[in-house]
Every structure is written in C-alpha cells, then in structure tokens.
Amino acid sequence: MLFGMTIKVAVAGATGYAGGEILRLLLNHPKYHSGELEIGALTAASSAGQKVAELMPHLPQLADRIIEPTDMEHLAGHQVVFLGLPHGHSAQIAAELGDSAIVIDCAADHRLKSAAAWEHYYGSEHAGHWPYGIPELPGHREELAKSNRVAVPGCFPTGATLALYPAMAAGIIAPEVVITSITGVSGAGKKASVPMLGSETMGSLKAYNTAGKHRHTPEIAQNLAEALHTQQEHIKVSFTPVLAPLSRGILTTASADLEKAITEEEVRGIYEKFCENEPFLQLLEAGQQPQTQNVVGANTCHIQVEVDQGAGRLLVTSAIDNLTKGTGGAAVQCMNITLGWPETDGLPLAAVAP
C-alpha cells in the first residue's frame, strides 16, 4: 500500500464502456469522498479534446473535464492507471509507466499464460502474463496484494470460472465442460458496428464465435486447469456465446459429467464453502435461478447448482453484470486489494431493480 499520500488515478480509454464503468464506481468510492483518491487524467483516442459532459452525461461530477490524448505526458505521475484500451496496446504503456505505477489492464493482453494460445487466438506476440484478477480463486488475492500489475479477467471467463471452479477443484466433475453464455451487447464495446445496431439485435438471439473460436475459450480452460493443478490442454472447454437484446448482463449455464455419485445437497455444501466469506459471491437458495436483472450495476455473481441425476451431470448457472463484476467492478476490486484498502470499497452489492 502507498501510505501518507493521495492516490491519483488515471483512466485510459475513459470514454469506452469499461472506462465509464470504472469512473462510475470510483465516483462512489469512500476514498474519493474522503480525498484519499483523486481522479486524474481521463484519456482516449478519437474523443480527445471533447468534454465528459458530451460523451458521458451520466457522470455529472466530471462534466467539465476534458478528455486528453492517451500518452505519457498525461498518464505519468499517477499511482494507479486503468487501461481500458483495445487488445495489444497495454504492454508498451505499462513499460513506459515503469514500476512506480499500479497498472490495471482491462484488455486481454496479459491474461493468458500460454504464448501459443495467445498467438493462436489474437494473432500477435505474447506480452507476458500478469497476476490474474479473480480474487475469489485460491491464492489470487495474496498474489494481487503483492503486485503492481493486474490482468482483469474477461467477462465470460468470470461467470464461467466462478460457476465451475469449485466443482472442478473438488474433483466431482470431468475435465470436459460445456458452457453457454448469453450476453448483452455492451460486451462488444462502444465502437460502431452494424451487427450491434438496435435493429439487428432487438427481438433476436444469435450465437457467434462458435465451436471453440471465441478468444475467451483458452482463458476459461486456463482457470479450470488451475483448479486441477494441471496444464490447460488437459481441460476440454466447449464454449458458445449467444448475443441477446440486453445492454448489460451475462447468464451462463455450465455442465459436466459427474465423476462420482453425489447428491445435490453435497454439491451445495462444496459451493457454500467456496462462497463463504466472499462478499461478491451469492449461492442462491435451492430452486431459485440466477437472473441478469438481479445483478445489474452490482459487483456480484449469483450462482445456482443442480444435479441432473438422469444424465449424470452437474449443472451450474451464474449471472453477472458484464460491465461491473465482469470488467469495471473487477478492476476496482483489484485496485482496492493492491492498495490495501477494504476490498468492497466503492463496489455495490445491491443491484438496480426493476
């Protein structure tokens, strides 16, 4: 932790969905209200020179601020720098910032341990692996607390990993999993895109990047392999994302063959132990299904577990807000850990309903 000083925070890519969500959460952070956290440079590329009021009117506290170019002139001198940039831009900025700054990367650049997996899915040189920002996984919280570099997980891997990790670690399921995640359109980012137009998405569902082509597939495999202390090649992940006419939210259903006879009550006991003392994980009452509307704006993950005795399979369902627990909230949660602040500071548990 940095003692005896105000922590000055910059957000690069501030006008994107991830950057905007980080700012929303920082503006409600108790350290911001106490003066211990200061929001410094807000940077972007094409929107540089414009006022926050024009681009993000939902952030009135920052209305008069000007978006600056993303360069060292504006990012240097901050204790924490959030990077909400396109893939492939983070490594150079982090190198230029040096070790004095905590760099929290919301892109994929430093999530994967395998250079081969990175090059296969992203088609560029691997920038190396940083401590991975799902604090709820064993050992990750301790690793993050000692680091000044954080790789924020992908939104799909967050919901899928939290759904399956407890069962995989307990050895009750086979290392071959089937995952379907239904997501809102904000997961594609703020860039203009014909497939994301309202007229293309309203009243329609569409699977995309199917049959192992989605870039988050190796990240999910990497996380589940960690549960078994094995190589990710030993984990078979069939992942299908489905685009839905929602602005926010991911509903994930994940299943796998059971490795042994086990009751639903015994499975619930495994998940209860995993979720206990984790403020952002909520195992729902038996029979209650996760819904995206119950996590909107919250940094929570709702989980339900069921045993399909006829099929001999475990079914786990999870719901997260892809912009909060799936991105911006995870980034702020990791910032709190690296600074030694209470992990829950600035992070809502209550969702917006209806």
Give how far Cα 90 sits from Cα of 72, 120, 276, 278, 328, Å.
13, 19, 35, 30, 16
Q: Is 155 a catalytic residue?
A: yes
Determine which one of 106, 155, 275, 334 is catalytic.
155
CA–CA gap between residue 79 and residue 71 (Å, rounded): 16
259 burial type by CB count under 10 A (0-12 exposed, 13-18 middle, 19+ buried): middle
Residues, the chain, total? 354
CB-based contact 179:239 (threshold 8 Å): yes
- Tokens encoding 214: 């989605």
CA angle, 178 as apex, 218 and 186 as ends, to 5°? 65
Task: List the beta bridge partners of residue 100.
Answer: none
Give how far Cα 332 sits from Cα of 104, 282, 289, Å.
9, 19, 27
**What is the secondary structure of 39-92 as a DSSP string?**
EEEEEESTTTTSBHHHH-TT-GGGTTPBPEESSHHHHTT-SEEEE---TTSHHH
Q: Which residues contact 33 (CB under 8 A, 6 or more apart)?
A: none
- The set of catalytic residues is 155
